[in-house]
Chains A and B, each alone.
Chain A
Amino acid sequence: QVQVVESGGGVVQPGESLRLSCAASGFTFSKIGMHWVRQTPGKGLEWVAFIRYDGNNKYADSVKGRFTISRDNSKNTLYLQMNSLRAEDTAIYYCVREGGHWLATFDYWGQGTLVTVSS
């Protein structure tokens, strides 16, 4: 069965960095695009970044230049490197599989990992 499991969340101070990981199983990871989506009580759900199976990627404006999405297809693992973190980056971060329909969909979600940015 499809599984995506996030790790790496924690508490950091503003300006610091953090790297999230997502271990994928139950599907051919190297052939599927992956997303990061975050959720806060105040701003709701926010798409963060996408990486295609071949490494092509795109970002939300709010994280462009600070976050980097990457993948290691040999390890079936997705990453999100988060630099220059701000208080407004505090959220639950979900690793999400691209649904494979003709438009972008989010079909399998992990349980999420909490990132807290606070001094």
Chain B
Amino acid sequence: DIQLTQSPSSLSASIGDRVTITCRASQNIKNYVNWYQQKPGKAPNLLIYASSDLQAGVPSRFSGSGSGTDFTLTITSLQPEDLATYYCQQSYGASYTFGQGTKLEI
């Protein structure tokens, strides 16, 4: 299976900050990466698909980039409602896998 490693595992930031989360794949997965936000007690929510495409209804302060093995999720101007755990996920392999998550504290 393709392994995804996120960093950092946790992150503390302030309102208005720019935050970057990285996801590294164990092999070249082109741009087959999606990003999800999971708020406490809730199911995950799709933010970004195909590395950089914003899912409908997601605020434009969220953006994604990368290809091959290295990917980033960026949140510009952090808001209180962005408190959550963020996961990358790959759809390249026969079996879909997730990163271990990055917990964002504000």
User: Which of A's residues lie within 8 Å of B, judged by CB?
Assistant: 44-47, 50, 58, 60-61, 94, 99, 101-107, 109-112
Contact = CB atoms under 8 A, between A and B. Distances in A.
Contact of B32 (A50, A103, A107, A110): A103
Residue picked from B1, B49, B87, B96, most chain A C-beta under 10 Å? B96
B6 to A, nearest CB: 10
Nearest to A58: B94
A110 B91 contact: no
A112 B41 CA distance: 10
Residue picked from A44, A45, A50, A107, most chain B C-beta under 10 Å? A45
Contacts of A103: 32, 34, 49-50, 91-92
Contact of B46 (A94, A105, A110, A111): A105
B44 A106 contact: yes
Interface of B: 1, 32, 34, 36, 43-46, 49-50, 53, 55, 87, 89, 91-92, 94-101
Contacts of A111: 43
Residue picked from A46, A104, A112, most chain B C-beta under 10 Å? A104
Nearest to A92: B43
Contacts of A104: 91, 96
B1 A61 contact: yes
Contacts of B46: 99, 105-107
Contact of B95 (A44, A47, A101): A47
B95 to A, nearest CB: 5
A110 B34 CA distance: 19
A44 B50 contact: no
B32 A106 contact: no
